[in-house]
Amino acid sequence: MSQTVIETRQLTKDYGNGRGCRQITLSIGAGEAFGFLGPNGAGKSTFVKMLVGLIQPTAGSGTLFGEPIGSLAARREIGYLPELYRYQEWLTGEEVLILHAKLCGMDRLHAKKRIPQLLEEVGLGKRGYDRVKRYSKGMQQRLGLACALLNDPKLLFLDEPASALDPVGRHEVRLLLKRLKEQGKTIFLNSHLLEDVELLCDRVALLNNGQILTEGSVTEVLQEKPRWQIRVGGFAQLTLNWLQEQTGLQIRAINLAVPHESDSVWLEAELEEDEQIGWLNSLIIEQGMTLYEVKKAKTPLDEWFIQAVSGLNHRGERV
């Protein structure tokens, strides 16, 4: 069992009129990427602000790495990209990072080495030496990411990290987050970009009107069987029928692009569990088809999100 990094019990913030978030109990392990989803005003930022110690809970409790939220020990290992960031526009990106390095007590020589690396990593590069007032929103967001990563935190809170980015920028940030996850960092992601959540996160929770409506792995939450796509050569309908009979699985040919001048075909199989894919592939090969590519199909989290929040008003309240 991995170390528990975030633990909350009945964590509540009441701004009055029922606004804020109520009785949130969550446990997130080391190395996990957790997606927090919800309509505008559902309470996502409020929850994160309590965890990083920016606001005091009204009730309940929480720990980060076993230390009470808000304490210096809990804050030491975290990086935070707020949703509404504003950096000193008269400074350069590099100077903003130097300021943040000083604020977190980082050694000057270490900061000097780390900052240019970070500017590259978040895709600012040489623009990191321009003044912030010349930055687009997307560049400011990249600078915010660099600030969040400055102290090489074990736990990252990212509130809508790609909201100001264009599709290329989003793709780059996605790759960066994937790399951070591979390095073993724990990531708590607030996002409206369901695709990002789906690609990165192990588990998701949907927040509605300040409360968790549902929580689990993306597959569990969608209550959907894992679907796999397999590109094969030497396809024959008879073989497909045989495979269906033998395995009892739903397998069908689908219309996905194949390489130019290839006579291959994509099949899609609905499995009971991911572990069956090796068995299915071995049967396909045994039947004389050539196996070219195998990939897991995307889960339609977007559809789930729309369904889950339909019938809610903009604050996530039932209408």
| Alpha-carbon torsion (70, 75, 81, 87), positive or negative | positive
Please, which residue, 217 or 313, has the CB nearer to ligand ATP?
313
Tell whether residue 154 is a contact of ligand ATP (CB under 6 A).
Answer: no
Contacting residue, 1, 40, 109, 286, with ligand ATP by CB under 6 A? 40
Contacting residue, 8, 12, 34, 44, with ligand ATP by CB under 6 A? 44
Please, which residue, 44 or 154, has the CB nearer to ligand ATP?
44
Stretch that binds ligand ATP, among 40-48, 74-82, 130-138, 262-270 (CB under 6 A): 40-48
On whether the CB atoms of residues 217 and 48 are closer than 8 A, the answer is: no
Please, which residue, 15 or 129, has the CB nearer to ligand ATP?
15
Contacting residue, 8, 46, 151, 299, with ligand ATP by CB under 6 A? 46
Please, which residue, 19 or 127, has the CB nearer to ligand ATP?
19
How far is 146 from 118, CA to CA, in rounded Å?
6
On whether the CB atoms of residues 144 and 87 are closer than 8 A, the answer is: yes
How far is 53 from 67, CA to CA, in rounded Å?
12
CB of 15 to ligand ATP, least distance (A): 4
Name residue, tokens 């339909």: 310
As given in the structure block, the two tokens for residue 205 are 């929770």
Tell whether residue 38 is a contact of ligand ATP (CB under 6 A).
Answer: yes
207 bridge partner residues: 212
- Between CA 83 and CA 87, with CA 84 as vertex, the angle to 5 degrees is 125
As given in the structure block, the two tokens for residue 166 are 């264009």
Contacting residue, 8, 12, 45, 63, with ligand ATP by CB under 6 A? 45
Name residue, tokens 């100001």: 164
Work out the number of other CB atoms within 10 angstroms of the CB of residue 69.
Answer: 21
Stretch that binds ligand ATP, among 33-41, 260-268, 284-292, 303-311 (CB under 6 A): 33-41
Tell whether residue 79 is a contact of ligand ATP (CB under 6 A).
Answer: no
E strand or H helix at 100? helix 93-103
Tell whether residue 223 is a contact of ligand ATP (CB under 6 A).
Answer: no
Binding footprint of ligand ATP on the chain (CB under 6 A): 15, 19-20, 38, 40-46, 83, 315
